[in-house]
Homo-oligomer: A and B are copies of this chain.
């Protein structure tokens, strides 16, 4: 058990007690010792502070006693992540924790120490003076540590060290200068909710074992449908394991709606089905088509304009073409917020075409859905209310911890008919409560992780207004970046005009390339710039931003901002850093 006052915010006496006879010396040595890797440092510290003297009773029946005169540790880091000095984890194992007899006190101490490690990581995550990543190549990490799994248990001291090591090499996804993915940031209420979800450790398939979570899913999906604009929030939906699966659901349900016999008879019983999506859409549409037995050849990619938006006339042309070949167009997936350009397809025009040809309209708003929370920006999704289904990932623009993706469906009951198998061991029909709350049979999954609680709790804590403020701020930051670089020497925009989402796509052209003519050699050299700058960013650990080629455009930076910690200064920093790391190329 930890001593009173040993939690992370109370730090014992100023001089760093520990070795009562010689506190200064012990602390100084301990600080030196901490520089060793592989846990040697902690072992040395434990020795210096003299807390390795006596083993716990076998089976943990006698938890360690509090020694209230002894401080927890003498390291300089507050909150401190050193194992508590008065619990000797070197002699404790998992078997000493609950449900072990008398396991309560060692369990509380152990979990509190894990928590202190996590809290320290959280605080560091937001500290601009720490690295975004302490990057090591795979072979380095594999050689530096022994990660192998063995027959015999390790003690809890080693377990705590593994937690520290794992976090040492982790990406700080909450760091104000982490811009690498569409999902960035670390929301404190969302994090707390995710910890609670882990602690509740249950499964979404029945009300019986997840009563509150099932109700919260119901409430939250309904609210999301209201925001989409479906009357009274009616309809259906589910939280699925990511946007790719949500898009696959949409395709699955659209197919079932048109040809319900496909469930029993398979694709052999139906004509050739064709799906349409833009050439800038997410690869998950093709992945889903491959999985569902539709085939990637049956996904027609519609041309985009120079801003990455689907061209409606090309969509209509390709639909007519497919019909003329005797194929059956069954799904159009429009994108609201493309992955690279952040483009919004013209949903109203797409809706008109879908209506005209009686095709299921899906909107992949995995990235752009968040803008529905903003009065200022929601017009970019005008027409989404006419969709038959919508993918919307709160884990992207809304900053909910991973993962949290919703598939919303306008017609109620369709998901259930499409997927249900009536397993009698789960969905007994003679239960004593209203069975409409057993939602598991509408899923492709059997067990399903609780992804709703973090979104629900964040929504309560921020309000719709809080999400709106976050989104408006991120878009303002993107515009700030755009305004700085659009006319700055050494930058070229990948497409013209103000970004519609937070995606800002640009080339950084180092001085040596600025003098070259716009020919193949220049392109070839330019294509190597972003990868080198990115590699250097990761080696310095100062910031992270993504790059990629697209069509005939060579590697360019795709800056995206969803991180609530980012400020104007971080945008300035990014530009300076790109120039610092790229000027010699």
Q: Can you list, as one digit per residue, whether each of A178-210 has a CB less than 8 Å from chain B (1) or not (0)?
A: 001101001111011111111111110001111
Instruction: Give the CA-CA distance A452 to B393 in the complex, in Å.
Output: 23
Instruction: Give the CA-CA distance A99 to B534 in the complex, in Å.
Output: 25
Interface of chain A residues 419 through 459 with chain B (CB within 8 A) = 419, 421-426, 428, 430-434, 437, 444-449, 453, 456-459
Known: A180-B208, A243-B447. 14 other contacts (CB 8 A): A99-B126, A99-B176, A104-B123, A121-B200, A136-B211, A138-B437, A167-B200, A173-B200, A241-B449, A242-B445, A267-B267, A291-B444, A424-B548, A432-B534
| CB atoms of A265 and B297 under 8 A apart | yes
A35 at the B interface (CB under 8 A):
no
A578 at the B interface (CB under 8 A):
no
Instruction: Give the CA-CA distance A461 to B97 in the complex, in Å.
Output: 11
> Which B residues are in CB contact (< 8 Å) with A265?
295, 297
Give the contacting residue for A295; candidates B176, B264, B466; CB below 8 A: B264
Among A220, A292, A547, max chain B CB count under 10 A is at: A292
Q: Can you list, as one digit per residue, whether each of A400-414 has a CB less than 8 Å from chain B (1) or not (0)?
A: 011101000000000
Known: A192-B110, A295-B263. A171 touches B209 (CB 8 A): yes
| CB atoms of B108 and A79 under 8 A apart | yes
> Which B residues are in CB contact (< 8 Å) with A220?
149
> Which B residues are in CB contact (< 8 Å) with A198?
191, 194-195, 197-198, 401
| CB atoms of B119 and A445 under 8 A apart | no
A538 at the B interface (CB under 8 A):
yes
| CB atoms of A297 and B266 under 8 A apart | yes
Instruction: Give the CA-CA distance A418 to B230 in the complex, in Å.
Output: 37
Give the contacting residue for A112; candidates B119, B193, B422; CB below 8 A: B119
CB nearest to A551 among chain B residues:
B424
> What are 23 A-to-B residue pairs whose CB atoms are below 8 Å?
A2-B9, A3-B10, A8-B108, A98-B122, A107-B123, A114-B195, A152-B465, A153-B461, A156-B461, A163-B193, A166-B200, A191-B198, A262-B295, A263-B290, A263-B295, A264-B295, A266-B267, A266-B294, A268-B295, A282-B446, A287-B419, A405-B447, A430-B531
| CB atoms of A447 and B183 under 8 A apart | yes
Distance from A234 Cβ to chain B, minimum over Cβ atoms (Å): 16
User: What number of copies of this chain does the assembly contain?
Assistant: 2
Instruction: Give the CA-CA distance A472 to B12 in the complex, in Å.
Output: 46
7 cross-chain pairs, A with B, having the tightest CB-CB distances, nearest first? A293-B293, A266-B295, A4-B10, A7-B7, A267-B267, A99-B565, A267-B293
| CB atoms of B149 and A219 under 8 A apart | yes
> Which B residues are in CB contact (< 8 Å) with A463?
150-154
| CB atoms of B209 and A180 under 8 A apart | yes
> Which B residues are in CB contact (< 8 Å) with A460?
149-150, 153-154, 158-159, 162
| CB atoms of B142 and A123 under 8 A apart | no
A549 at the B interface (CB under 8 A):
yes
> Which B residues are in CB contact (< 8 Å) with A119?
108, 111-112
Known: A122-B107, A126-B98, A149-B223. A241 touches B295 (CB 8 A): no
Instruction: Give the CA-CA distance A291 to B245 in the complex, in Å.
Output: 12
Among A97, A156, A287, max chain B CB count under 10 A is at: A287
Interface of chain A residues 286 through 307 with chain B (CB within 8 A) = 286-298
> Which B residues are in CB contact (< 8 Å) with A262?
290, 293, 295
> Which B residues are in CB contact (< 8 Å) with A176?
99
Instruction: Give the CA-CA distance A135 to B9 in the complex, in Å.
Output: 38
